[in-house]
Amino acid sequence: MAEARRPGRPLGGVHGPFSGFERLSVLDFTKLLPGPYATQMLADLGCRVTKVELPHFPDGARDMPPLVDGVGSLYWMVNQGKRELPLDFRKPAGLAEARRLVAEADVLVEGFRPGLMDRVGLGAEEALRLNPRLIYCSLVGYPTAGPWRRKAGHDLNFLAVSGFLGLSAPGQRPAMPPTQVADLTGAMGAVTAILAALLERHTTGKGRRVEVSMAETAHSLLPVALGELRAQGTDPGAGGRWWDGSHPFYRFYQASDGAWLAVAALERPFALSLLEALGLGALAPLADDPAANAARLSEALEGAFKAAPAAAWAERLADKDVCVTPVNRLPEAGPFLERLKDPTGG
């Protein structure tokens, strides 16, 4: 796979590699998206990652279209810079080699259903016996101590049970997420746990097993809504919250060319600056209580943004502190972010 072509990099927004990470050896026993995304982040940090695959049951993402240079685009995106090792660890010779690798590794990441690694002789207890300094990370859908430990699931299921999707207004169809939120944040949670365990090992000299549940990780993404639930005892998904599109200064508005703009001028100074920039300064008193004046403010903002195309608004608001950004389509997003890294602003 060509290392020069790396769209979407760096994963997690982390610009590596970092000095010292090249000394860390990572065994990747994962497939598809969550586990490989986690180990790709470790590879991007500078770790030496070895992807171990059963020859007769390799990562299904390899052949998942569309293809890049004959390789599934998903596989290509999250398996760059890794050493690939076909190894039948279900047979004695392969298991012996896998155990040798485990004994020398710093980190092992696995994403199988609970129990599989134990059955083949590579479970956490045995792996830590072979290598007491090992960080053994299991990335799972649901907590392995509970009744759903072996229940099949994918990203949509994890988001569903976590409350993430249920924040839509009651009675409405939940919105389909545009990406695999639970999978990817679970992967980031796994990387966080691994780095924390490595730091702990620096003090104690001992490894440990860490487990990250994607359903629980998705639940943890809701601090604002969970805080409201705890404080008020009412369903935050019932609407009328500042973060659900009800707030006039925290929602989407459409420009005259049909493009959408994201407005997040929540704090009063931002709201006042936005009203002034849009020629709506007379409405400034309404910004003292945006919720009470939501209908009037939203109508005025909608009319103002409809008066010009998105490019004109980008130019007009470029030097204004108003928290307005374009809603980029994916082909636009990469070049846009690349421009943000250009110190000349070109």
In a domain, 280, yes or no: yes
Quickly tell me which residue has 């072509």 as its tokens.
Answer: 5
Shared domain check, 164 and 62: yes
Asked if 244 and 297 touch (Cβ cutoff 8 Å), the reply is no
Q: And the tokens for 259?
A: 């493009």
For residue 203, give the CATH number of its domain.
3.40.50.10540
Cα 314–Cα 263–Cα 328 angle in degrees, nearest 5: 55
Contacts of 273 (CB under 8 A, 6+ apart): 265, 320, 321, 322
DSSP state of 11: G
With residue 239 as reference, give the H or E element that holds it: none
How many residues does the structure list for the chain? Answer: 346
Give the separation between CA 217 and CA 211, rounded to whole angstroms: 11
Strand partners, 42: none
pLDDT (tens digit per residue) in 253-266: 999 999 999 999 99
pLDDT of residue 20 exceeding 90, the answer is yes
Catalytic option among 154, 219, 235, 244:
154
pLDDT of residue 45 exceeding 80, the answer is yes
Shared domain check, 193 and 61: yes
In a domain, 303, yes or no: yes
For residue 303, give the CATH number of its domain.
3.30.1540.10
Q: What are phi and psi of 175, to 5 degrees?
A: -75, 135
CA-based end-to-end distance of the chain = 31
pLDDT the model gives residue 340: 85
Shared domain check, 159 and 274: no
Q: What are phi and psi of 237, to 5 degrees?
A: -85, 5
Higher pLDDT, 240 or 196: 196
With residue 311 as reference, give the H or E element that holds it: helix 310-316
In a domain, 319, yes or no: yes
Count Cβ atoms below 10 Å from residue 268 Cβ, excluding itself.
13
pLDDT the model gives residue 4: 44
pLDDT of residue 203 exceeding 90, the answer is yes
Return the percentage of the chain with pLDDT > 90, whole number: 81
Catalytic option among 28, 44, 106, 183:
183
Count Cβ atoms below 10 Å from residue 129 Cβ, excluding itself.
12
Regarding pTM above 0.95, the answer is no
Q: Which range (8-12, 80-84, 148-152) has the least confidence? A: 8-12
pLDDT (tens digit per residue) in 115-147: 999 999 999 999 999 999 999 999 999 999 999
In a domain, 333, yes or no: yes
Shared domain check, 298 and 205: no
Give the separation between CA 115 and CA 122, rounded to whole angstroms: 10
Q: How many domains does the chain have?
A: 2
Q: And the tokens for 61?
A: 């993402």
Residue 155 annotated in active site: no
DSSP state of 234: S
Domain ranges, residue 263: 250-340
Give the separation between CA 194 and CA 40, rounded to whole angstroms: 13
Shared domain check, 332 and 254: yes
Contacts of 140 (CB under 8 A, 6+ apart): 111, 114, 149, 211, 212, 213, 214
Confidence of residue 164 (pLDDT cuts 50, 70, 90): very high
Residue 15 annotated in active site: no
In a domain, 162, yes or no: yes
- Mean predicted confidence (pLDDT) in 71-86: 93
